[in-house]
Amino acid sequence: MTTFSIREVIEMAVRTEVLGNSYYNELATKFKGGNREVYELFTKLADAEKNHIIAFTALKEKVSEAEPENWQEVSEYMRAFVESAFFLGKDKAMLHMQNVADPLNAVGLAIGFEKETLLYFYTIRDAVKEKHIVEEIIEEEKHHIVWLSKYKADHSAQH
């Protein structure tokens, strides 16, 4: 099994944030005319993902060529994430997210995506020396889950 380098793992984090930004922008556009609250939620999430792209890109430039201790095991763990049903790839969760029409379903899929990326970022944090950069992103991702969960809780009773 091929292992990922630490830079490849961070590049996948960048790609995840690019996909998240694209997805949230798409959803904001989809709900712009009909549901202002959902539009604003997804716009806020898209903007946050854009900031994470910048942060992970900067992190990729800072990491050394040397792989962290126990990298073989970490790399295999990261591969399992990438190959999971909720991660990267056109046939993965993003495909389902793009076809969603109901705001609550969109929010539910977004929560799942945010949780998966959060787990991925925890693993990156544990593997790099520049932990503070990843910890800031992790804290923001937690806020995303809270925002989405609050919306879902507030609006589930209405359906």
Taken as a whole, the chain contains a residue count of 159
Q: Report whether pLDDT(93) > 80.
A: no
**Banded model confidence at residue 133, pLDDT cuts 50, 70, 90:** confident
Cβ atoms of residues 83 and 116 within 8 Å:
no
Asked if residue 109 has pLDDT above 60, the reply is yes
Output the pLDDT for position 131: 85
DSSP H/E element including 12: helix 6-31
**Whole-number percent of the chain with pLDDT over 90:** 25
Interatomic CA distance for residues 150 and 3, integer angstroms: 38
Complete domains list, the chain, with CATH? 6-156 (1.20.1260.10)
- Contact status, residue 45 vs residue 19, Cβ threshold 8 Å: no
What are 68's two structure tokens? 């962290």
Give dist(CA 115, CA 121) in Å, integer: 10
pLDDT in tens, 5-14: 778 778 888 8
φ, ψ (nearest 5 deg) of residue 64:
-80, 170
Q: What is the DSSP letter of 130?
A: -
Burial tier of 60 (Cβ tally within 10 Å: 0-12, 13-18, 19+): middle
The pLDDT of residue 83 is: 65
**Better pLDDT: 57 or 10:** 57
- Alpha-carbon distance 47 to 112, whole Å? 19
- The mean predicted confidence, pLDDT, of the chain is 82
